[in-house]
Amino acid sequence: MMAQAIAPTIAQTIAQKIIAAHCGRDTVEVGEYVTVTPDYTACQELFWPGHKRNLERIGVGRIPRPDKAVMVIDHSTSAAMGSHHHETHRTLRDWCTAQGIENFFGPGNGLRHLVLTERGFARPGTLIFSDEGNIASIGALGALNLPISTEVLVSLIQDENWIAVPPSARITLNGALGFGVTARDVIQTILRDCTGDGRLLQCCVEFDGPGLATLSLDDRQALLASLFHSGAYTGIMEPDDRVLDYVRQRDGGRPWQAVRADAGAVYQTRMTYDLGAIAPMVTVPPDAHGAVPIGQAEGTRIDQATIGSCANGRLDDLREAARVLRGRQIAPHVTLYVTPGSRGVYVEAARDGLLEVLAEAGATILAPGCTTCWGYQGVLNDEEVLISTQQFNYQGRNGSRTSRVFLAGPAVVAASAVAGRIADPRPLLAGG
């Protein structure tokens, strides 16, 4: 009698495990095309007019799983006179009503990234399609975001979509952040190091290491939110007890499963960073990966400063800015806009007195959402200079093509608003 051969087990990364679970298999291989059924599909309003036209061309009547659609108005938080956004708001709201979509979040609820985490959609082991890559931030909770642009319509219409299993990369974090250094400085350093040579291209980047435990959940989301600038496909982190406690408070009884990589899983590249060796960084325009230590940009005169966006609009970011601004005033020639990332962040910031500190320093508090990041508010004139926590700094992003946008963390932006020029926050933080 011949012994039956046992197929070898393929060690799996976190992304492979989650993808395999959503296509009904035990394992998947990198580069393999598989059809997966998502837990949710998340869309925003800027792409909605095009989505609506395509749905009408196809002749779609009802989508099969309206309970899996999460529709958020997060970019155009208000519909100004002369804009078309009021029409988009109405047609998206009406379509959701007609489809029976209960997960509709109108203006003021905030960014999809935070709606997904705060409302319990992003849970460990879940797979969420979206139409933007920066929603990798939900990976801080062990959820996998797969950005598929206009193909979100496929998952809405069919409750499934095919994907190529991405390779994975592993970044290990050691140590702890130094005084006056934020998670934004970490991701700016990673983008500087990795974007040019494409080592993270189309990868799902997993973060691990003892340094990860020293970062708050807000910090972890900030790390992942800007990862797409490196060319990475998405990002994720193994959930720890802090994550699991957060999820249990928000899951509403919905299922989830913490997923961890197998020993022996294969990674396209591995890197290690010492958090304690990272300094405050400033990204010089027009490249999102052009970060330099703050000393190389310090002293540049600014006209405007903005704190917010999916990169840095969370509660910890507002706390960091308030630490710098408490008892101080922004420079007379500077305009400072602050945008809480969600209604929940807005409420907590108000309860903690942060909004009062920011407003007393001279900041204008905007409605939760994207706002200044995509140039909807805070438009720049010719030759003006902005320092911001937003995602992009290419020419014309915030108005005039002759304006310049520098990117930094909330502490650097706040210190620069006070100084009227790009400034290191550490002297102000040390002074109390």
pTM, rounded to two decimals: 0.94
Q: Do domains 11-278 and 282-427 have the same CATH topology?
A: yes
State phi, psi for 338 to the nearest 5 degrees.
Answer: -125, 125
Query: In this predicted model, what pLDDT tens digit does every residue of 221-247 receive, in sequence order?
Result: 999 999 999 999 999 999 999 999 999
CATH fold of the domain at 282-427: Aconitase; domain 3 (3.30.499)
Q: What is the rounded distance in angstroms from the CA atom of residue 276 to the CA atom of residue 292?
A: 17
pLDDT of residue 134: 85
pLDDT of residue 69: 96
> Which residues share a beta bridge with 208?
172
Determine the average pLDDT of the residues in 126-132. 93
Determine the average pLDDT of the residues in 160-166. 96
Sheet of 168-174: strands edge to edge? 234-237, 204-208, 168-174, 270-274
The angle that helices 315-325 and 343-351 make with each other, rounded to 10 degrees, is: 40
Query: In this predicted model, what pLDDT tens digit does every residue of 295-343 receive, in sequence order?
Result: 999 999 999 999 999 999 999 999 999 999 999 999 999 999 999 999 9
Query: In this predicted model, what pLDDT tens digit does every residue of 187-203 receive, in sequence order?
Result: 999 999 999 999 999 99
Which residues have a Cβ under 8 Å from the Cβ of 213 and sit 6 or more positions away? 240, 242
pLDDT of residue 432: 66
pLDDT of residue 82: 64
Q: Which residue has the tokens 């799983």?
A: 65
Confidence of residue 77 (pLDDT cuts 50, 70, 90): confident
pLDDT of residue 322: 98
The angle that helices 217-225 and 183-194 make with each other, rounded to 10 degrees, is: 30
pLDDT of residue 131: 86
The CATH number of 11-278 is 3.30.499.10
Residue whose C-alpha is closest to residue 358's, from 378, 379, 333, 330:
330
State the DSSP string of 101-153. Answer: ---EE-TTSB-HHHHHHHTT-S-TT-EEEES-GGGGGGGGGT-EEEE-GGGHH
State phi, psi for 173 to the nearest 5 degrees.
Answer: -110, 125
% of the chain surpassing 90 pLDDT: 85
Going by the DSSP 8-state scheme, the letter that residue 357 receives in this structure is H
pLDDT of residue 4: 44
pLDDT of residue 3: 41
Q: What is the rounded distance in angstroms from the CA atom of residue 248 to the CA atom of residue 222?
A: 22
Average pLDDT over the chain reads 94
Kindly list the domain boundaries of the chain, sorted by start residue. 11-278, 282-427
Residue whose C-alpha is closest to residue 137's, from 109, 113, 173:
113
